[in-house]
Chain A
């Protein structure tokens, strides 16, 4: 059930990003809800599940909006895996953990996107990608506490009950 909710949340997040947040775009930046979901899921569920969920939600993003199918799946899959590695080491009650994780993930996502696009022969320009990541990162960080609170409620509070 949680997986379905997560997929639907990602689905809505993609639609929201391309509709509502088009009008709220600041310096060309828009929030990447899929990235936030993947990172938080991985933080609570570990690298393997995080990687798989990242790949799945990335694929959803590719299929809904992507030009190259598979790029976001690869990026988000690796991001999920990387975020999941920290599952045991992170102190999940700290408020700054989600913000720092999402900030790092946004820039890592840009680097991975660049690397994979070069690999498949479609250079998008690293500098441009990194510059456009700055407003994206700010947006993502703003939404992080809200999403983190929801995830915390789902994965920590409910499992304690």
Chain B
């Protein structure tokens, strides 16, 4: 009895195996149409699928909050990095732009002064500004034909003179240096001869000393080099008179000047190659 049942079960199993395998073999190739029972079941599943889709969207939305948060954090970090890079590039661009403007001004000045001066462009490679001295170091030296005593200026006005020369560099004593002095006069009248010197402490202020008490000089006058010292050529702008002060004894007066050159923002300068050449220190 048990054996008979077992044989019956085996027969059913073999039949099912053959049927299912047959079905599978028949459906292994792509079919154009589904059977009616497949269509029926899938149609029956549709309402459930639509219903569950809403749940799926909510569930996906809930979990995507966490996954997207991480992705957003990463994106945020990457964007911050990019912003920093762009900011750096922008600063560089600004720097280049500023340099371009400066060089253009210098070039225009050089072109304008072509007949008058032999100008050599030089870049500042070091600065030494303190209460004791105001000097800068240029990237041009004796190999470029620079000698001690040459005038250094830019399109704004006088800067100083070459005080020491090395083969590949040179040192410039700036106007505000306490050792510096330049013969000057009032540009408009070409009169009033004096000496402009720095007080060694403030690079934004110069003073024109030894002026007679009745000298014809006023606030706002433009002061230029006189050329009488045989160090600096005449006619180079130095600064504008901002104040005049009489000495206690009333015999002389001092004019305070605001230099045209901003000594704290120097980048490129001109060396007047045909000035003060060979002058010994």
Contact = CB atoms under 8 A, between A and B. Distances in A.
A59 B37 CA distance: 11
Q: Is the interface of B mostly helix, strand, loop or mixed?
A: helix
Given A20-B59, A23-B60, A69 B45 contact: no
Contacts, number: 87
Interface string A54-68: 010001100110011
A69 B16 contact: no
Contact of B28 (A16, A52, A68, A73): A68
Interface residues of B, number: 32
Contacts of A23: 56-57, 59-60, 63
B27 A68 contact: yes
Residue among B13, B26, B53 with the highest chain A CB neighbour number at 10 A: B13
B196 to A, nearest CB: 83
Contacts of B214: none
B216 to A, nearest CB: 93
Given A24-B59, A48-B9, A70 B19 contact: yes
Contacts of A11: 41, 44-45, 48
B167 interface: no
Contacts of A22: 56
Interface in A72-107: 73-74, 77, 81
Contacts of A48: 9
B24 A20 contact: no
A127 interface: no
A92 B37 CA distance: 37
A122 interface: yes
B1 interface: no
A14 interface: yes
A16 B21 contact: no
B145 interface: no
Interface stretch (A31-39, A113-121, A130-138, A141-149): A113-121
Contacts of B27: 67-70
A38 to B, nearest CB: 14
A26 to B, nearest CB: 10
9 contacts: A11-B44, A15-B45, A15-B48, A23-B56, A23-B59, A64-B45, A77-B20, A121-B25, A122-B28
- Shortest beta-carbon contacts, A-B, top 10: A23-B60, A70-B23, A70-B20, A19-B52, A70-B24, A15-B48, A74-B20, A23-B56, A69-B27, A69-B23
Given A51-B13, A68-B23, 19 more contacts: A11-B45, A15-B45, A15-B48, A19-B48, A19-B52, A20-B55, A20-B59, A22-B56, A23-B56, A23-B63, A24-B60, A24-B63, A63-B38, A69-B35, A69-B38, A70-B24, A74-B17, A77-B13, A120-B21
